[in-house]
Amino acid sequence: MEDFGASLEELRKTFRSGKTREESWRRSQLKALLRLVQEKEDEISMALKQDLGKHHVEAYRDEIGPLVKSIEFAMAGLKGWMSGKKAKLPFAAFPAKAEIIPEPLGLVLVFSAWNLPIGLALEPIIGAIAAGCVAVLKPSEQAPACSSVIAKSISAYLDPKAFKVIEGGSLVSERLLEHKWDKIFFTGSAAVGRLIMTAAAKHLTPVTLELGGKCPAIVDSLSSSWDKDIALKRILAGKFGTCSGQACIVIDYILVERKFSSELVQLLKKYIQAVFGDNPKQTHSVARIVSKKHFTRLKSFLDEPKVKASLVYGGLMDEDNLFIEPTLLVDPPLNAAVMTEEIFGPILPIITLEKIEDSIDFINFRPKPLTIYAFTHNETLKNKIVSQTSSGSLVFNDTIVQYAADTLPFGGVGESGFGRYHGKFSFDTFSHEKVIARRSYLIDFWFRYPPWDFKKLQLLKAGYRFDYVSIVLMFLGLKRTY
């Protein structure tokens, strides 16, 4: 911390040197980051196992694999992303031309989260590198093994005068926020997001907030056994199979018609046992809870008497190993903590409705979610969900897939966050689109300047409409007829 100010000045000096603006430098750093992810795969997997109990396959599916894909996508598109876009100017500026050129914002600060501690740390860094920024990365202290791997690896692979990792807890975060940044990128809770915005406002620093919320899954009655089989597997993967439900984009609760609810519960029980076995802890396919604090929080959800009465499956806990088995609730009280707070764990409430269309009002009376999932063949219902709800993303008949797409922007709306990233959208997040206009001295239109008269007004009106014929006729003292 004593060298903190000096470290930031070193980063700014690197940015001011201009080398980060060069395509060759950006490409070299992307290649170095790719080598980091590939060469450190085993070490990263071990750290994820240590911090979250993640299986190597889950670690690759959710963090390592997507990073490799994202880096390669950025390298393939980098030259095109850096190119300017031509734009038109009004006729009154003729002869002239204009373009929009992306330029790096400068020194950026990235706060990552503990639930995908490698992916959520390095994915924004890909965008910062591609955009030509220098960056400080603050990993989550709640995933200490991953934080350590990131700190050691980035200093060894990337330009140490352009990228630094600062480890620590909330005090370090507070100290970082005292400084002026050109951009702050935060992934985490809405409560901390508000603190980030407050601190950023002092310097008018732009922010991207990737938050969360309660992501609903609308489950319509499905006719064929094949559809039910696929849907149930995708629901389980989108809840219990993704960091044990500790992710912002997992299903938080299910909405289902009351007449289909009993069948759905029985199917969920069947598939949980089929996928995770009678003792899910022994399969090593369910990640553990990240900390004692979060374990206690989840336990308190289930300890509420009325919530406990709604438990229909699971509920087994092992505090020593921070393990909670996949748990199902049916119609817990809507004012209970499990239904008002983001769960972030392997607890899945199922809310029954008279008709599936009521799910739209249920969602709309709550903060806008990061994602809405809907399992249905009903095209009318699909259209209503599209037109009558608002969310960061909307996925029909699957889960999580939108997060893995480099061609789609990822981000929230309202309390689920704002700003977006992934693919070129990450590049855009860390760039400023600068307008450049160029005009010749060859021609200068007199009607742009005072003193004003009616003829100048007519010429200006024609000019803003790009009505070149009217302008020529007025110069000749003629009037256009239509």
Full pLDDT tens readout for the chain, 482 residues: 456 788 999 999 999 999 999 999 999 999 999 999 999 999 999 999 999 999 999 999 999 999 999 999 999 999 999 998 999 887 767 788 999 999 999 999 999 999 999 999 999 999 999 999 999 999 999 999 999 999 999 999 999 999 999 999 999 999 999 999 999 999 999 999 999 999 999 999 999 999 988 999 999 987 778 888 899 999 999 999 889 999 999 999 999 999 999 999 999 999 999 888 777 777 777 888 999 999 999 999 999 999 999 999 999 999 999 999 999 999 999 999 999 999 999 999 999 999 999 999 999 999 999 999 999 999 999 999 999 999 999 999 999 999 989 999 999 999 999 999 999 999 999 999 999 999 888 888 888 889 999 888 887 777 666 555 555 555 555 565 55
251 to 161, 164, 447: CA distances (angstroms): 41, 34, 62
- What is the token pair recorded at 30? 């992307």
Check residue 441 and give its pLDDT: 86
Task: Please give the pLDDT value at position 213.
Answer: 86
Identify whether 141 is a catalytic site residue. Answer: no
* Contact indicator for 249, 305 with CB cutoff of 8 Å: no
Count CB neighbours of 468 within 10 A.
12
The residues with which 94 forms a beta bridge, in sequence order, are none
Element (H, E) at 460: helix 454-464
Tokens of 300: 């308190």
Residue-level pLDDT at 287: 86
Which residue bears the tokens 């003792």?
A: 279
Determine the pLDDT at residue 478: 55
Q: What is the pLDDT of residue 1?
A: 47
Closest-CA residue to 327 (of 350, 305, 359)? 350
Is the Cβ–Cβ distance between 156 and 180 less than 8 Å?
A: no
pLDDT score at 21: 97
Which of 390, 387, 381 lies closest to 356, judged by CA?
Answer: 381
In terms of Cα–Cα distance, which of 348, 350, 402 is closest to 372? 402
Q: Report CA 424 to chain centroid distance, whole Å.
A: 13
Residue 218 CB contacts under 8 Å (≥ 6 apart), including other chains:
254, 255, 256, 356, 359, 372, 373, 374, 375, 376, 381, 385
Residue 137: CB atoms within 10 A of its CB come to 25
pLDDT for the residue numbered 479: 60
Block residue for tokens 């110069």: 475
State how far the Cα of 160 lies from the Cα of 7, in Å rounded to an integer. Answer: 10
Euclidean distance between CA atoms 236 and 19, whole angstroms: 47
DSSP string computed for 24-49? HHHHHHHHHHHHHHHHTHHHHHHHHH
Q: What's at 267, amino acid-wise?
A: L
Amino acid at residue number 386: V
pLDDT score recorded for residue 434: 95
β-bridge partners, 372: 394
Give 7's contacts (C-beta < 8 A, 6+ positions apart): 136, 164, 166
Q: State the catalytic residue, choosing from 58, 63, 210, 325.
A: 210
Torsion of CA 193, 198, 201, 205, to 10 degrees: -30
Cβ pair 104, 133 in contact under 8 A:
yes
What φ, ψ does residue 228 adopt, rounded to 5°? -65, -40
Q: What structural domains does the chain harbor?
A: 4-211+422-433 (3.40.605.10), 216-411 (3.40.309.10)
Cβ contacts of 363 within 8 Å, gap of 6 or more = 216, 255, 369, 372, 389
Please report which helix (H) or strand (E) contains residue 391, including its range: none
For residue 394, the one-letter residue type is L
Q: Which residue has the tokens 């997992």?
A: 250
**What is the model's pLDDT at position 460?**
79
Tokens standing for residue 452: 């004003």
Helix axes 258-276, 225-237, angle to 10 degrees: 70
> Using an 8 Å Cβ cutoff, are 185 and 123 in contact?
no
| C-alpha to C-alpha distance for 81 and 130, rounded to whole angstroms | 9
Q: Answer yes or no: 248 catalytic.
A: yes
Task: Point out the catalytic residue in the list 133, 248, 325, 342.
Answer: 248
